[in-house]
Amino acid sequence: MIPLGVLLGVPLRMHVAFPVMMAALLWHGQARALLMMLAALSLHEAGHALAARAAGQRFECIELMPFGGVARMDTTLALRPAEEICIALAGPFASLLFCLLTAAGKWTGYAAQDFLRSNLSLALINLLPALPLDGGRALRAALTARLGRAHATKLFVRVGVALGVLILALGVWAAAAGVVNPLLFLMGAYLAYAALKEKETLAAACVEALHGRAARLAREGMLPVRWLAVEKDAPPERLAARLTAGTYHLFVLVDGSLGRVGTMDEGEVLRQVLTKRIGPGM
């Protein structure tokens, strides 16, 4: 990551692929469009930062990526689903708001058109239901209680990879028709890569979940408890996949006749996941 400075008190970094996209736009004589896109992207990420601050959360950094950005929070899994949804959608909301302000205001000319298009593109692209886009983050939060965070993450990672491959295929089809658009190839490859990177963070997310709930317990004095009955030989990875935000989990281990043979708390589950142990650890 390339450090760029600070935005609303949050460190701002640039992914190494971002200069490639900038070079492609400059190569096509789109310097003004590039400046307007950078302005729109900064406002989009500022929307995330302000929403997180309103929820009492802090960003570790904001990373500028091709065709969007990723806001890395210190305690993502300490958030309630509604809070995570609001923070995820705050960026597209900010982009749409500036679209409306630009369209309704007195700012005219090519720069205004580029600024409006940049905001509209950021909003529409980021609302797609795929990770790491904002729409995917919001839907993952909405489905976490039902599927577990790990399963929800894997679902929207697959959607992100499929969308990236589809964009790459569109680039190939356009090139075969005589229209070569390097931005399609860059966007498709990046989206598939970024989606797969989201999957790699699941182990770290398990540890973050435990620390986040401990912080909430210290802050509020209590946590809701969720009991789940599981097979006594179920691998810990499957149990960890059922963890949801803001809830303390206890697992009842049962045999084939549904008789109780032991219990396990989420701390033991996470320890087993991180140490690659398979036993039930009763």
Confidence at residue 226, expressed as pLDDT on a 0 to 100 scale: 84
pLDDT in tens, 173-230: 988 988 877 778 878 888 888 888 776 666 556 555 655 666 667 777 777 888 889 8
Which pLDDT tens digit goes with each residue over 2-40?
777 776 666 777 777 677 777 766 776 677 877 888 888
Confidence category of residue 278, pLDDT binned at 50, 70, 90:
very low
Residue with the bigger pLDDT between 246 and 168: it is 168
Q: What is the pLDDT of residue 168?
A: 92
Residues 6+ apart with CB under 8 A from 171: 181, 184, 185, 188
Of 57-61, 174-178, 259-263, which gets the smallest average pLDDT? Answer: 57-61
pLDDT category at 169 given cuts 50, 70, 90 is very high
Q: How far is residue 96 CA from its own chain's centroid? A: 19
pLDDT tens-digit map of 236-254: 777 877 776 667 888 999 9
Give the model's pLDDT for residue 271.
74
- Choose the most confident range, by mean pLDDT, from 74-78, 179-183, 251-255, 267-271: 251-255
Tens of pLDDT, residues 99-147: 999 988 878 888 888 899 989 988 998 999 998 889 999 998 898 877 7
* Mean pLDDT value of segment 91-96: 94
Per-residue DSSP letters for 233-274?
A: T--HHHHHTT--TT-EEEEEEE-TT--EEEEEEHHHHHHHHH
257: burial class by Cβ within 10 Å (0-12, 13-18, 19+)? exposed
The answer, yes or no, to whether residue 66 has pLDDT greater than 90, is no
First to last CA, the chain: 43
What's the pLDDT at 277? Answer: 38
**pLDDT at res. 280:** 38
The pLDDT score that the predictor gives to residue 246 is 66
Residues with catalytic annotation?
A: 45
* Contact partners, residue 34, CB within 8 Å, separation at least 6: 22, 25, 26
Predicted pLDDT at 46 = 84
| CA 155 distance to own-chain centroid | 13
Nearest Cα residue to 234 out of 199, 275, 202, 262: 262
Cβ-contact 1, 63 below 8 angstroms: yes
Q: Residue 162: its pLDDT value, please? A: 94
Q: Is the pLDDT of residue 279 over 50?
A: no
For a pLDDT cut of 70, what percent of the chain falls above it?
79
C-beta of residue 264 within 8 angstroms of C-beta of residue 251: yes
In this predicted structure, the answer to whether residue 149 has a pLDDT above a threshold of 80 is no
Residue 135: what pLDDT?
93
Residue 142 has φ and ψ, to the nearest 5°, of -65, -30
Strand order in the sheet with 260-265: 225-231, 248-254, 260-265
